[in-house]
């Protein structure tokens, strides 16, 4: 039985494509940085969406990839430019004027921009008002550390399964759980491409990583059970037990020596990755 396999050649980016991925990645990260001072109690998630939309379109001259994305039988396309997922919302939260932020809320903003045809995809947690419970704080820290530990496994010759194995082991050692139904993904000209990057599983399994591949890692970490459900709007994903959830996401490039984070933020300490 062989549980590993080689990457299709089309997933290996050329130097010219990699440069475009760097540009798209930086723009996506800049949106997460730009929006920070706007996040405060009383602001609606729709207002945050409008600010991000205007910035992406008018300042960055880029395209918000989420807007109009994902129509499927029985589900309308996403009608907004960012996802805003508050507290027990796991992912794909729909910005709404009725969702006003409160002090102590934990909010994930997920931004994907398209520049020159290429996608940059990243998300992070914000604490509204800067203070929240010890549990919520620890959850956000563990989700970020889970992402970083996943990133640290990335190098040519490693397997996609190594990423999920490390993330699952770490998150469960913190007595939290990892969402199973949503995963990271190859990215480039296509928003969601091969390979799927599961945030749980077995090392030494799946696609072998090669220099020039680009993909996201985006673990969703729950305080309670890993199971989720999708609301009647067909987008909003919540934890089944309505306990808190947190997520962090970066877009990555496999390099000859390891990994390059394509969506770094100025305030982020990436020294352990040599960035």
The item of ligand MF3, Co ion, none sharing an interface with residue 78, based on CB under 5 to 8 Å by kind, is: ligand MF3
- Rounded to whole angstroms, the Cα distance separating 51 from 93 reads 17
Of the candidates 223, 198, 217, 200, which has an alpha carbon nearest to the alpha carbon of residue 88?
223
Whole-number minimum distance, CB 130 to ligand MF3, in Å?
A: 25
Q: Of 93 and 161, which has the nearer Cβ to Co ion?
A: 93
| Binding status of residue 199 toward ligand MF3 by CB under 6 A | no
- Is cis: bond before 173, omega within 30 of 0? no
Give kind and range of the element (H or E) at residue 9. Answer: none
Q: Angle CA(98)–CA(235)–CA(107) in degrees, nearest 5? A: 55
16-20: long-range pairs with CB below 8 Å, 24+: 17/118, 17/188, 18/212, 18/214, 18/253, 20/115, 20/116, 20/117, 20/118
Residue ranges in the chain assigned as alpha helix (H): 15-35, 45-54, 134-152, 160-173
Q: List the one residue from 30, 49, 105, 218 that touches ligand MF3 (CB under 6 A).
A: 218
The item of ligand MF3, Co ion, none sharing an interface with residue 220, based on CB under 5 to 8 Å by kind, is: none
* Residues 113-132 close enough to bind ligand MF3 by CB under 6 A: 121
The footprint of Co ion (CB under 5 A) covers 110, 121, 123, 216, 249
| Binding status of residue 110 toward ligand MF3 by CB under 6 A | yes
Q: Of 67 and 270, which has the nearer Cβ to ligand MF3?
A: 67
Residue carrying the six token digits 């996608």: 119
Supply 121's token pair. 């995809």
Supply 141's token pair. 């820290």
Cβ-proximal residue to ligand MF3, closest one: 66
| Binding status of residue 106 toward ligand MF3 by CB under 6 A | no
Query: Do residues 159 and 4 touch, judged by C-beta distance below 8 A?
Result: yes
State yes or no: 105 annotated in a binding site: no
Supply 103's token pair. 């002090």
**Per-residue contact flags (x/-) with ligand MF3 for residues 63 to 92, judged by CB under 6 A:** ---x--xx-------x----x--------x
Whole-number minimum distance, CB 133 to ligand MF3, in Å?
A: 26
Q: Of 132 and 143, which has the nearer Cβ to ligand MF3?
A: 143
Q: Of 132 and 216, which has the nearer Cβ to ligand MF3?
A: 216
With 0-12 / 13-18 / 19 or more C-beta atoms within 10 angstroms meaning exposed / middle / buried, residue 275 is exposed
Q: Which residues pair with 178 in a beta bridge?
A: 221
State yes or no: 249 annotated in a binding site: yes
Q: Of 105 and 110, which has the nearer Cβ to Co ion?
A: 110
State yes or no: 110 annotated in a binding site: yes
State yes or no: 192 annotated in a binding site: yes
Supply 7's token pair. 């990457």
Q: Of 70 and 129, which has the nearer Cβ to ligand MF3?
A: 70
Q: Name the binding residues for substrate.
A: 92, 192
Q: Name the binding residues.
A: 92, 110, 121, 185, 192, 218, 249
List of residues contacting ligand MF3 (CB under 6 A): 66, 69-70, 78, 83, 92, 110, 112, 121, 218, 249
């Amino acid at each position: 039985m062989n549980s590993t396999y080689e990457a299709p050649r089309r997933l290996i980016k050329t130097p010219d494509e990699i440069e475009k991925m760097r540009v798209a990645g930086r723009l996506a990260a800049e949106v997460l940085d730009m929006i920070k001072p706007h996040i405060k109690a009383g602001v609606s998630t729709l207002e945050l969406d409008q600010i991000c939309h205007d910035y992406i379109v008018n300042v960055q001259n880029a395209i918000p990839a989420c807007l109009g994305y994902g129509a499927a039988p029985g589900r309308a396309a996403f009608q907004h430019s960012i996802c805003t997922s508050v507290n027990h919302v796991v992912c794909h939260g729909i910005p709404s004027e009725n969702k006003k932020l409160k002090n102590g809320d934990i909010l994930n903003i997920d931004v994907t921009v398209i520049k020159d045809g290429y996608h940059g995809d990243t998300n992070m947690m914000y604490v509204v008002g800067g203070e929240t419970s010890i549990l919520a704080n620890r959850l956000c820290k563990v989700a970020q550390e889970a992402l970083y530990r996943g990133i640290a496994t990335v190098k040519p010759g490693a397997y996609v399964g190594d990423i999920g194995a490390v993330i699952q082991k770490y998150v469960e050692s913190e007595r939290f759980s990892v969402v199973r139904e949503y995963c990271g993904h190859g990215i480039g000209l296509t928003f969601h491409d091969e390979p799927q990057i599961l945030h749980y599983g077995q090392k030494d399994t799946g696609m072998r990583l090669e220099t020039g591949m680009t993909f996201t890692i985006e673990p969703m970490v729950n305080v309670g059970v890993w199971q989720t459900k999708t609301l009647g709007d067909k987008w909003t994903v919540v934890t089944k037990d309505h306990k808190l959830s947190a997520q962090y996401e970066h877009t990555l490039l496999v390099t000859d020596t390891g990994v390059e984070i394509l969506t770094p933020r100025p305030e982020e300490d990436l020294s352990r990755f040599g960035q």
